[in-house]
Structure 1
Amino acid sequence: MKECSEVGKLVRDRIPEIIREHGREPVVTVLGEADYRGALLEKLFEESTELREAGVTEVAEEIADVLEVLRAIAKVHGYEWADIEKAAEAKRAERGAFLERFYLEG
């Protein structure tokens, strides 16, 4: 587990339990829906930044973190992950993916 000296951020559900197992007592607040939605977007930015900075051996773990945040964002907006996959498939069929590495200049 990464050591964290930051205060005030959204954490995974088991983190308070893990902190207790290490002999410390976490200070935890349960967020209301609006604050939770905002915290999820902040978390997505945090995890995306970590993915961008990840070394080759860390990429899969960082992608997993981004995916978990995206799943939570979908859920809080009333979508099941299957709904997101269906929307992604439709968009891919209409506009393509990112496999050709095209970079539009200007």
Structure 2
Amino acid sequence: MGKLVRDRVPEMIRESGRTPHVVTLSTNAYRSALLDKLHEEAAELSAAQTTESVLEEAADVLEVLAAIAVEHGVSLDTIGEVARTKREKRGGFAMRLWLEAIDPDPDAR
């Protein structure tokens, strides 16, 4: 059952009368667990059916992204700045464009 959990989860388990068994992860294990958690939360976001559940799951994704940023010595604001720069250069997703295919360059032979 092992998985990365939020800091207060063991306390909440104890308050329910149960006993959590936790360990503190090494840096490499923590980084790997964060990526696993990001996949887990992204899957939950993908499965969300209501606006409320989309917001809850998006908040979880954001929390994991913030932890990943901190683990790499940057802030969530830094990720936001990089995203803004990429948006300025390549655009965002507001136009809902789906790339079907790319024809080969006739001059590249």
**Greater relative CO (CA pairs within 8 A, separation 6+):** 1
Counterpart for residue 78 of structure 1: 73
Pair 1:104-2:109 in alignment: no
Counterpart for residue 9 of structure 1: 3
Instruction: Work out which of the residue numbers 2, 21, 37 in structure 2 matches 1:43.
Output: 37
Instruction: Work out which of the residue numbers 68, 92, 100 in structure 1 matches 2:87.
Output: 92
| 5+ residue gaps, structure 2 | 102-109
Shift of 1:55: 1.2
Distance 1:95 1:30 in 2: 40
Counterpart for residue 52 of structure 1: 46
Q: Deviations over 1:13-45 (max 9, x none)?
A: 110010011011100010000000000000000
Task: Name the larger-Rg structure.
Answer: 2
TM-score, normalization by structure 1: 0.91
Counterpart for residue 67 of structure 1: 62
Q: Which amino acid aligns with 1:12?
A: R
Shift of 1:84: 0.9
The answer on whether the counterparts of 2:41 and 2:57 sit within 8 Å (CA) in structure 1 is yes
TM-score, normalization by structure 2: 0.89
Distance 1:81 1:40 in 2: 15
Of all paired residues, the percent bearing the same amino acid is: 54
Moved over 4 A (4+): none
Which shows bigger deviation, 73-82 or 44-53?
A: 73-82
